[in-house]
Amino acid sequence: MTKGYLILETGEEFEGDWFGAEQEISGEVVFNTSMTGYQEMMTDPSYAGQILTFCYPIIGNYGINEEDDESPKLSVSAIVASDICDDPSHYQATSSFSEELKEANIPGLKNVDTRSLVAAIRKHKTVNGKIVSEQGKKHFSAAWKKHSNMELVNRVSVDVPESYGIGTYHVVLIDFGYKKSILKALLKQDCKVTVVPYHTSIEVIEAMNPHGILLSNGPGDPMELKPYFPAMKALIEKYPTLGICLGHQLIALAYGGKTKKMPFGHRGGNHPVKDLLTGKVRMTSQNHGYVVEEDSIDPRDFQVLFRNVNDRSLEGMKHVSKPIQSVQFHPEAHPGPSDTEYIFNEFIHQVVSAAQEGAPVYVEA
């Protein structure tokens, strides 16, 4: 096997064996604690520009199938793992983990001491890294490529509107890098869904006669989308709106809130979140590196709904008078628990109420 190295900008070096595409690449090094769901993670657009480290020691044992992709292509920049199984066992498997990476021209390192790597990330907080070959290591340059958020969102957003379903209620999904499972959750709720590029104008969206708006998840720093905040606020005040992950952060920012970079983010399927209205704790699926600062939220605009049990960070809110709600976690899960799937039910109830109050119900031509 060809030796490869992950070199962190803080100086640590981790040796492994190349698999997938043997090409050098740099990016933010992040880790996910989930035991399963590696296919959904690799195809989650929120990982664009990042080197994803799997905490679970065995990856690839059930292979890759044709059902579980969250987007049409792999979104991660690279993969770091301990043991990679190249002989998967599952009736739905159509290829192995390594084959999938190679076909997508994405590099990976296996047989890495991922426990030490995760400890280093937790120690240094946010850290960039570069995967290099043995030859590249000899001529290593600490020139770290920084991806702008606009570059990443442009990479994962749709180019033109796409329509799905023939349901009664029409939801426009504003795409910053949406997951397929969000679309499927809306289709299950008797919706027709139009996915539009994030830069679509208010006039174009209004001409679609939506009953509701959903702001999707996506990669990068939400503040880099600042030019779109005024239009975003004007739009979501016209329709029932749900924001998920990046969408949650964008709603907060559009109303004057603030976000900050987290030490090493929330990425996994076991994050406990407390519902402040009921006192119940839900287990959630999460994937984000930024968080809304709770003290920046004006209580005259928003009521806090959810708070993270571990670090008490803001996990969800709703407008005090308008049908606008947002959550930092992923209610559609995939991978992860479906404890908070009811968030979609609440959103659709708002959409239905708005439609019954006078908004035209969508009828398929």
**pLDDT by residue for the chain (365 residues), tens digit each?**
799 999 999 999 999 999 999 999 999 999 999 999 999 999 999 999 999 999 999 999 999 999 999 999 999 999 999 999 999 999 999 999 999 999 999 999 999 999 999 999 999 988 999 999 887 777 776 666 667 778 999 999 999 999 999 999 999 999 999 999 999 999 999 999 999 999 999 999 999 999 999 999 999 999 999 999 999 999 999 999 999 999 999 999 999 999 999 999 999 999 999 999 999 999 999 999 999 999 999 999 999 999 999 999 999 999 999 999 999 999 999 999 999 999 999 999 999 988 887 654 444 43
- CATH number, domain at 309? 3.40.50.880
Domain boundary among 105, 140, 175: 140
283 and 304 both lie in a single domain: yes
Alpha-carbon span 28 to 181, nearest angstrom: 25
Alpha-carbon span 268 to 33, nearest angstrom: 5
Residue 321 burial (CB count, 10 A): 8
Domain boundary among 115, 140, 165: 140
179 and 244 both lie in a single domain: yes
Please give the pLDDT value at position 144.
Answer: 64
Residue pair 45/246 in contact by the 8 Å Cβ criterion: no
pTM comes to 0.94
- CATH number, domain at 127? 3.50.30.20
Please give the pLDDT value at position 42.
Answer: 97
129 and 220 both lie in a single domain: no
239 and 318 both lie in a single domain: yes
For residue 128, the enclosing domain spans 3-140
Which stretches within the chain are classed as H helix? 38-42, 97-103, 114-124, 134-138, 149-156, 180-188, 202-207, 229-236, 246-254, 342-356
Cα dihedral value 264, 265, 271, 274, nearest 10: 120
Please report whether residue 361 resides in a domain.
no
Per DSSP, the three-state class of 191 is strand
115 and 171 both lie in a single domain: no
The token pair that represents 266 in the structure block: 């929330």
67 and 27 both lie in a single domain: yes
Q: Does residue 245 carry a catalytic annotation?
A: yes
33 and 54 both lie in a single domain: yes
Length of the chain: 365
Set 147, 248, 266, 330: catalytic member: 330
Cα dihedral value 123, 267, 3, 13, nearest 10: -10
Please report whether residue 145 resides in a domain.
no
Please give the pLDDT value at position 251.
Answer: 98
Set 55, 248, 332, 334: catalytic member: 332
What distances in angstroms separate CA 206 from CA 162, 203, 305, 365, one per listed residue? 16, 5, 29, 18
Please give the pLDDT value at position 81.
Answer: 98
131 and 156 both lie in a single domain: no
Alpha-carbon span 109 to 111, nearest angstrom: 7
Set 245, 248, 271, 315: catalytic member: 245
Please give the pLDDT value at position 138.
Answer: 73
Q: Does residue 332 carry a catalytic annotation?
A: yes
Show Cβ contacts of residue 136 under 8 Å, excluding neighbours closer than 6 positions.
Answer: 5, 24
109 and 181 both lie in a single domain: no
| DSSP conformation letters of 138-173 | HT----PPPPPHHHHHHHHS-SS-EEE---SEEEEE
Please report whether residue 20 resides in a domain.
yes
134 and 161 both lie in a single domain: no
104 and 205 both lie in a single domain: no
Domain boundary among 85, 120, 140: 140
Q: Does residue 330 carry a catalytic annotation?
A: yes
Please give the pLDDT value at position 362.
Answer: 44
Please give the pLDDT value at position 358.
Answer: 64
Buried b (16+ CB within 10 A) or exposed e, 142-181: eeeeebebeebbeebbbeebeebbebbbbbbbbbbbbbbb
269 and 298 both lie in a single domain: yes
Per DSSP, the three-state class of 112 is coil
Alpha-carbon span 8 to 162, nearest angstrom: 40
